[in-house]
């Protein structure tokens, strides 16, 4: 499942990534969505790209858990 233009407009990437970081966990669905966005949308702002990379960095360093 990928994000559509409609679902991306409902919540900003910054809002979504802040919610993920605050919750301390990343669902597999959210992981897939963020991965899809970063790989498919070359029009991402540098700030959006930075926010997504921050989530992945936190996941890699153990500051976030990957939830099922």
pLDDT digits 0-9 by tens, 49-58:
999 999 999 9
Helix (H) or strand (E) holding 9: helix 5-10
On the question of pLDDT at 9 being above 90, the answer is: no
- At residue 11 the predicted structure's pLDDT band, cuts being 50, 70 and 90, is confident
pLDDT at 5: 45
pTM: predicted TM-score of the whole model, two decimal places: 0.79
CA–CA distances in Å: residue 2 to residues 9, 12, 22, 29: 14, 15, 23, 9
pLDDT at 35: 92
Whole-angstrom distance, CA of residue 59 vs CA of residue 6: 27
For residue 26, the SS3 value is strand
């Amino acid at each position: 499942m990928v994000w559509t233009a409609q679902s991306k407009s409902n919540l900003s990437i910054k809002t979504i990534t802040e919610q993920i970081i605050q919750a301390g966990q990343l669902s597999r669905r959210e992981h897939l969505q963020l991965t899809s966005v970063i790989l498919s949308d070359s029009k991402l702002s540098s700030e959006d790209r930075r926010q997504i990379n921050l989530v992945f960095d936190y996941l890699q360093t153990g500051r976030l858990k990957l939830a099922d």
